[in-house]
Amino acid sequence: MRLDSDMISYDAPKPRSLITRSLAGASTRPFWLEDAQRPVFPDGPNVPTKWDLLVVGGGFTGLWAALLAKEADPELKVALVEGERIAWSASGRNGGFVESSLTHGQENGRVRWPRDFDTLERLGIENLDQIEATVKRLKIDCDFHRTGSLNFATEPHQAEELFALDPEKIAPAKVLTAAEAQAEVNSPIYKAAWLDTRTNANVNPAKLAFGLAKAAAEAGVEIFENTRVLGLGKDGNRVGVLTNRSTMSVGRVVLATNVYPALLKRYRPFTVPWYDYALMTEPLSKAQLKELGWKNRQGLADLARQFHYYRMTDDNRILFGGYDAVYYPGGRVKARYDNRPATWEKLARHFLITYPYLEDVKFTNMWGGPIDCSTSFVAFFGRGLDGLAAHAAGFTGLGVGASRFAARVLLDLVFGRTTELTELEMVRKLPLPFPPEPLATIGIQTAKWAADKADHEGKTNLILETLAKLKLGFV
């Protein structure tokens, strides 16, 4: 079928002067972290201390683990240590999409965990419902809205794939024609869309993380910032922990350190850092909003393997990110990788192609951050120190919602409970590790090239098929 918008793609030309102008003056600080309400927690402790449970890492995974543990047992002495500031890394820099999927999308889940897929879908929706309920119960002011999502076909072959779907099988999600998609959000590049009202919420991620930290502290969790764990080891039937401040003796330890080097060294080969980048516009004017449509403020993305994601804030800005995630040879986390002008320019160009009538809009912030990529695209779980420590990482860019699920798994594992969650194959089995360098760089760059080619050509290729057979990436 030929669509009016067939000819418009992200390869369309745009004057460079427009792109430079739109980015001029943008700050390289993550927009969400400019929040004045950011709480401050003390450093320390500077003397040896004892805790029943220590949580390492002050992002979503660690915050949920500390809060859930304390709420379940108010007598438990719980501490959380964060090497820098609460939510300074991925948890404060992301797009704020709270997705229900625990499997990084249905296709990935169906192929990798066929036995558990339906259970994982149910647990994912329950997890999102419980996040919403917690936000309400604790009155966390974090702009949480159950907006649903719209995934757009921006290439003709994607539209054809959507139109071939059986409406009954995909209900309550549905496929929109180009005209219907453009009536939701006005862009000449949209050729069709997949609308799902249940599976996504949008949030201001930093406000959510700060709210969780405040709630945990009010419940009695001791939170320490600028407190880095340097090492841990078994000490009798407890765990001895060395920090940059002092030592701790802890009953159990939850390791929620994400992309940073795993404290249980055996889990280091299971993640590599990918850098993802985003832009934030200034607030749109009333006239611009009218032209845009987007009344329902869904979370938006396109249907490619390498996709853009974008959403609106409560003060009518647009966050536009993704597409050009970068793996830097060597696989290290480095502050200088947070800045990548070439990617910001590419994103600005794609933004202007998507919304040509927003030519005058300026970006106020442009930033980046590391994503903990795993070969299964979801978090894996590991134990150590004779079961007194549990570790999770590997969310691969979809951890805002899944981190709460991971926190529950971590607590089950570290307290030795057998539950529905610990019986899941996804929890019990580790994914394949990444090979050492330089093989990792060669493999990842090849996979990225193959994914880009498949996105443009509308068909898979030998490299992707081989990786899928090996359970090493895009299915």
Ligand X SMILES: Cc1cc2nc3c(=O)[nH]c(=O)nc-3n(C[C@H](O)[C@H](O)[C@H](O)COP(=O)(O)OP(=O)(O)OC[C@H]3O[C@@H](n4cnc5c(N)ncnc54)[C@H](O)[C@@H]3O)c2cc1C
Q: Which residues bind ligand X (CB under 6 A)?
A: 56-62, 81-84, 88-91, 93-97, 99, 228-229, 256-260, 263, 276, 278, 321, 369, 371, 395, 397-401, 403
CB of 428 to ligand X, least distance (A): 20
Which is closer to ligand X, CB of 299 or CB of 443?
299
**Single-letter residue type at 125:** I
Which is closer to ligand X, CB of 275 or CB of 294?
275
Which is closer to ligand X, CB of 94 or CB of 187?
94
CB of 288 to ligand X, least distance (A): 23
Alpha helices in 244-305 (DSSP H): 286-292
Question: What percent of the residues of the chain are helix, what percent strand, and what percent coil, each to the nearest 5?
Answer: 35, 25, 40
Q: Which helix (H) or strand (E) holds 187?
A: none
Which is closer to ligand X, CB of 113 or CB of 323?
323
Which is closer to ligand X, CB of 352 or CB of 366?
366
CB of 290 to ligand X, least distance (A): 27
Which is closer to ligand X, CB of 8 or CB of 393?
393
Pairing of strands 380-384, 389-393: antiparallel
Q: Which residues is 309 bridged to in the sheet?
A: 301, 321
**Rg of the chain's alpha carbons, rounded to an integer?**
22
How many Cα atoms are found within 13 Å in the side-chain-facing hemisphere of 303? 23
Which is closer to ligand X, CB of 335 or CB of 462?
335
CB of 149 to ligand X, least distance (A): 11
CB of 407 to ligand X, least distance (A): 9
CB of 44 to ligand X, least distance (A): 13
Alpha helices in 355-470 (DSSP H): 402-414, 425-428, 439-457, 462-469
Which is closer to ligand X, CB of 109 or CB of 399?
399
CB of 378 to ligand X, least distance (A): 10
* Backbone angles phi and psi of 444, in degrees to 5: -70, -40
What whole-number distance in Å separates Cα of residue 140 and Cα of residue 124? 21
What whole-number distance in Å separates Cα of residue 318 and Cα of residue 289? 11
For 179, the token pair is 């005209």
Query: Environment class of residue 236 by beta-carbon count within 10 Å: exposed (0-12), middle (13-18) or buried (19+)?
Result: exposed
* Backbone angles phi and psi of 202, in degrees to 5: -110, 145
Q: Which helix (H) or strand (E) holds 149?
A: strand 149-153
